[in-house]
Amino acid sequence: MRKRVVITGLGAISPLGLNVEDTWSALIAGKSGAAPITQFDASENKTTFAAEVKGFDANAVFGRRDARRMDRYVQFALATSLQAVKDAGLVVTDENRDRIGVLIGTGIAGIGTLLKQAEVMAKRGPSRVSPFLVPMMLADSGPGQVAIKLGVRGPNMSVVTACATGSNSIGEAAEMIKYGRADVMIAGGGEASIVKLAMAGMNTIGALSARNDEPEKASRPFDKDRDGFVMGEGAGVLVLESLEHAQARGANILAELSGYGTSDDAYHISAPAEGGEGAALCMQLALDDAGLTVDDIGYINAHGTSTTLNDKGETAAIKSVFGEKAYQIPVSSTKSMTGHLLGASGALEAVFCTKALHDGIVPPTINYDTSDPECDLDYVPNKAREVKFKHALSNSFGFGGHNATLIISSYEE
Domains of the chain in sequence order:
5-248 (3.40.47.10), 262-409 (3.40.47.10)
Q: DSSP letter string over 364-394?
A: PBTT--S-BTTB-S---BSS-EE---SEEEE
- pLDDT band, very low/low/confident/very high, at 2 (cuts 50, 70, 90): confident
The predicted structure's pLDDT at residue 300: 98
Phi, psi for 290 (deg, rounded to 5): -85, -10
Residue 275 pLDDT: 87
CA atoms within 13 A on the CB side of 32: 22
Beta strands, E only, 81-170: 100-105, 156-157
**Structure confidence by residue, pLDDT tens digits, 126-168:** 999 999 999 999 999 999 999 999 999 999 999 999 999 999 9
SS3 262: strand
Please give the distance of CA 395 from its chain centroid, rounded to a whole number: 10
> CB–CB of 139/166 below 8 Å?
no
Q: If pLDDT is split at 50, 70 and 90, which confidence band does 1 have? A: confident
Q: Is 157 exposed, middle or buried (0-12, 13-18, 19+ CB in 10 A)?
A: middle
Tell me how far apart the alpha carbons of residues 397 and 278 are, in angstroms, rounded to a whole number.
9
Long-range contacts of 59-65 (CB under 8 A, 24+ apart): none
Please identify every residue annotated as catalytic: 163, 303, 340
394 within 8 A of 408, measured Cβ to Cβ? yes
